[in-house]
């Protein structure tokens, strides 16, 4: 019963992150935060899945390494966008300017 609650919690967290990602289109920082929230909920889901079948947690550590790399890339894009355009609004720049 407790494991079912954990699975439901991880799915609820993932879908709430998807809803925030789809609905928020103004700032790049809010979009990146919702993506990181979805990655952390997927990590919880993966960790629970690996614990059910008594696998080692090596794959979950690899998943965390790749999620940190993804977060660092997103922050570097955010910093370069703020340096070139002055803010993180999606509406303040055009794709043709970049």
**Percent of the chain residues past pLDDT 90, beyond the cut:** 37
Average pLDDT over residues 88-94: 72
What is the radius of gyration, based on Cα positions, of the chain? 17
User: Contact 13/55 with Cβ under 8 angstroms?
Assistant: no
Q: Residue 56 above 70 pLDDT? A: yes
Averaged pLDDT for residues 6-12: 89
The pLDDT-based confidence of 95 (bands split at 50, 70, 90) is low
- Band (pLDDT 50/70/90 cuts) for residue 43 is very high
Checking if the pLDDT of 82 tops 60, the result is yes
What domains can you pick out in the chain, each with its CATH number?
Answer: 2-92 (1.10.287.3510)
């Amino acid at each position: 019963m407790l494991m079912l609650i954990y699975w439901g919690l991880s799915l609820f967290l993932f879908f709430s992150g998807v809803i925030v990602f789809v609905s928020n289109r103004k700032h790049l920082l809010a979009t990146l935060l919702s993506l990181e929230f979805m990655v952390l909920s997927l990590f919880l889901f993966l960790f629970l899945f690996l614990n059910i079948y008594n696998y080692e947690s090596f794959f979950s550590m690899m998943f965390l390494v790749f999620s940190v790399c993804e977060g660092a890339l997103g922050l570097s894009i955010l910093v370069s966008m703020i340096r070139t355009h002055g803010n993180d609004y999606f509406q303040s720049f055009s794709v043709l300017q970049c």
